Structure 1
Amino acid sequence: MTSYTGKGSAVPALILSVALSSAVSVTVSVTVGDSVTLPCDGSAHTDTVQMYWQTPGRLVCVSSSGRCEAQTGFEGRVEFAGAVESGDFSLTIHSTQLSDEDLYECFRVSAAGQSMFLGKVRVRVLSREENTSVSYGQPLSLRLYSRAAVTVQFNPAGAGASLPVCAVEGGTVTPDPAYGPRVSGQEQEVTLSALNFTDQGSYTVLDSQSRATISTVNVTVTDSVVWGAVVCAVVCAVVGFTVILLIVLIVFVCRRIRDSAGAAAMEMGEMRNGAPHNNENERTEEGVIMPLMAEASVCRGPA
């Protein structure tokens, strides 16, 4: 049993063992990544000058001027939940990890330098499971919920075998050759880029040493982006077809006008050749032919 030295005195391990054996343990459960509060009431003691939390193998937190001084492995993740000066020594652990599962013991140190056991809390950390949807072509981000070495595996939808995606250790991401440059990472997170329909399935984060499941994310790849591209293509095709149809119609009308003008000119020419010259008839003919010739020239365009 670990003992803590305060004010120059230490509680003998044997005495602590006897006290702990008769204490009732409180059990709390938390999902990995969430926060959990461990209760500890020391309000009955008015001479407390310091308190601390420990597990059988490591020191967790020591009070310093009413604040929690986090120990190795808990930096930035622990704080007192209540007013320490009033005897509320409850401890909150944030961003829980699988390695946080343990038996936690709460102690106070009196003005005389003696350590006294106040209570113990057993913490159970449960793996996390989430469901998410990602649009086709978009990236997927996976939180690791661990500072230890982990591996990420992929189980395709409807398949039984899991495939390796990457390994992460010390902030370094090593992707499986099948994923290569699609996998990138930063602290506590791995990103898989450009998802397609074959990426639909379950992604599991495992502790590399114990092989325990840390988290599972069930991913559905939606086709909203694909349908958007299809709709855009259809609209473009319809617009293009309409433009072509208008061009064909304009060409057809211009040809009809040109043919009509030519036929009228030929007819008037024949009439001139077979009839006496008449200025009044000529003016009438020009009034009919010239507008048709003008329309035909517009359809032909400049020479």
Structure 2
Amino acid sequence: MSLRKCLLFVLLAIFFRLVGNQAEHGQPVQRVQVKVKVGDTAVLPCNVSAHMNGETEDNLYIRWVTNDLSSNYVCEFTKGKSHPHDDYRNRTEISKEKNSKHLYHLIINKTRLSDEGEYHCKLGKPGKPGEDAASVQLIVQGREENVSVVFGETLAIRLPVTGNARVRFAPASSSTEADVCTVRQNTLTPANAYASRAALENNALRLDRVTFADEGSYSVIDVATGRVMKTAVLAVEGLVKNRELHEGENLSIPLCCLSSPYIEFCGPAGNSTADGVCQGHVERLTVQNGSLTLSNFTAKDKGKYIVREKMGGVVLTLTLTLKTKAIPVGTQRTDRRLIVGVIAGILPLILVVISVYAYKWCTKRKMERETRRRAEQTEEQFPLSEIKSFADVEEK
């Protein structure tokens, strides 16, 4: 072969390599980029309508492959059914949409960082290379989230997928990172500093008794790829409580992970600066056996209290108010019984008085009716006109 022919052959090979957007039969190849988060479902599109070449849908053979030469088969579609391969089994299928567009999308559930790469949708016959119908670049990204936890409570970081992972912690106050734990085959191995606080529950890392020292960034790293699957940024918040107490009442509020806290008083009698930072340490409130306590509450104790840990973080903001004395329940019941007893004693007397007055009224009415009846009888026997005539005769 002459030098000119060799040079022409090389140029043609380079040309076809650069314009690789054409399939074997000259039909355009779909080139798409798909981005998903770890653990989400990826849908890789493939439209074979331009590559049918007169074939009926029942005779189509669709094959999805990757550029990974060791195990490039992902999933096959033949005779109306999907057949996933190896690592994609139980989480991959080809979705056939029966319409005029002939769509055969590759669906990958619970994506992993190792799924990232280039995927090809091929149309052809079993055992043959087939014609490219689509080329999809899948990019799997790590997840990010912000988490807020109250001081002393539990932090839960859900792992994106089951498998081997390593969790590292970067404090917000420094640039030094440290291992928290490793997870292998659903078994958690904590680092020494977290031995008593870290556990695995329902595929989530649980960190108990959170303090301000735990604020920072937690990275879940895939052991297989060394890439970050998830980043959780933790912010620790203080408790906010409002309590209403009677005079002389005692107060006890459980507080976790505190030793020698600093307690400030911002009540009516306290001295507060313009920026709201209260001054003056309070001796009345103390921390005993893991609880904030106050004995024999008085009206002078009303106000707002701020409890700080040794690093200055606000662990608790407590507002105390004086509760007005209410009538004890026992006294209320006694008063009710007394009222009922009085009513029960007076009621018969009232009934007697009402009966006497009713009897007198009835008797009076009866006498009036009797007097009226006799007057009417007398008038019938001796008419008033005759009585007047007789009286006139006697007068003459």
With structure 1 as the length reference, what TM-score do the two structures score? 0.63
Question: In structure 2, what is the equivalent of residue 176 of structure 1?
Answer: 191
Question: In structure 2, what is the equivalent of residue 55 of structure 1?
Answer: 66
- 3-state DSSP of counterpart to 2:213: helix
- 3-state DSSP of counterpart to 2:235: strand
- 3-state DSSP of counterpart to 1:34: coil
Equivalents in 2 of 1:174, 1:136: separation in Å?
25
- Judge conservation of contact 1:153–1:165 (CA < 8 Å) in 2: yes
* CA apart distance, 1:216: 0.5
Q: 1:222 to 1:59 in 2, by over 3 A?
A: same
Tell whether 2:45 aligns with 1:39.
yes
5+ long unaligned stretches in structure 1: 1-16, 244-303
- Judge conservation of contact 1:20–1:117 (CA < 8 Å) in 2: no
Letter in 2 for 1:79: E
- 3-state DSSP of counterpart to 1:138: coil
Cα deviation code 1:203-230 (max 9, x no counterpart): 1011224432221101112223xx33xx
Equivalents in 1 of 2:98, 2:199: separation in Å?
43
* CA apart distance, 1:112: 11
Letter in 1 for 2:61: Q
- Judge conservation of contact 2:181–2:191 (CA < 8 Å) in 1: yes
* CA apart distance, 1:42: 1.4
* CA apart distance, 1:111: 9.1
- 3-state DSSP of counterpart to 1:145: coil
Equivalent positions of 1:37-116 (< 5 A) are 37-44=43-50, 45=52, 46-47=55-56, 48-57=59-68, 58-63=72-77, 65-83=79-97, 87-110=102-125, 115-116=130-131
- Judge conservation of contact 1:30–1:124 (CA < 8 Å) in 2: yes
Equivalent positions of 1:86-235 (< 5 A) are 87-110=102-125, 115-186=130-201, 188-224=203-239, 227-228=240-241, 231-232=242-243, 235=245
Question: In structure 1, what is the equivalent of residue 249 of structure 2?
Answer: 239
Cα deviation code 1:245-273 (max 9, x no counterpart): xxxxxxxxxxxxxxxxxxxxxxxxxxxxx
Letter in 1 for 2:166: T
- 3-state DSSP of counterpart to 2:34: strand
* CA apart distance, 1:186: 4.8
- Judge conservation of contact 2:114–2:225 (CA < 8 Å) in 1: no
- Judge conservation of contact 2:169–2:219 (CA < 8 Å) in 1: yes
* CA apart distance, 1:65: 4.6
Equivalents in 1 of 2:36, 2:66: separation in Å?
17
* CA apart distance, 1:141: 2.0
Identical-pair percentage: 29
* CA apart distance, 1:198: 1.8
More displaced 10-residue stretch of structure 1: 187-196 or 199-208:
187-196
* CA apart distance, 1:148: 4.3
* CA apart distance, 1:84: 5.7
* CA apart distance, 1:169: 1.7
More displaced 10-residue stretch of structure 1: 38-47 or 165-174:
38-47
- Judge conservation of contact 1:171–1:187 (CA < 8 Å) in 2: no
Equivalents in 2 of 1:73, 1:238: separation in Å?
69
Cα deviation code 1:83-125 (max 9, x no counterpart): 1676211122222221111110112235997733212101111
- Judge conservation of contact 1:127–1:215 (CA < 8 Å) in 2: yes
Letter in 1 for 2:35: S
Number of aligned pairs? 223
- 3-state DSSP of counterpart to 1:239: coil
Q: 1:146 to 1:20 in 2, by over 3 A?
A: farther
- Judge conservation of contact 1:78–1:92 (CA < 8 Å) in 2: yes
- 3-state DSSP of counterpart to 1:69: strand
RMSD in angstroms over aligned alpha carbons? 3.3
Equivalents in 1 of 2:63, 2:191: separation in Å?
44
Letter in 2 for 1:239: E
- Judge conservation of contact 1:134–1:222 (CA < 8 Å) in 2: yes
5+ long unaligned stretches in structure 2: 1-15, 23-28, 251-295, 299-396
Query: Which structure has the larger Rg over C-alpha atoms?
Result: 2
Equivalents in 2 of 1:52, 1:188: separation in Å?
34
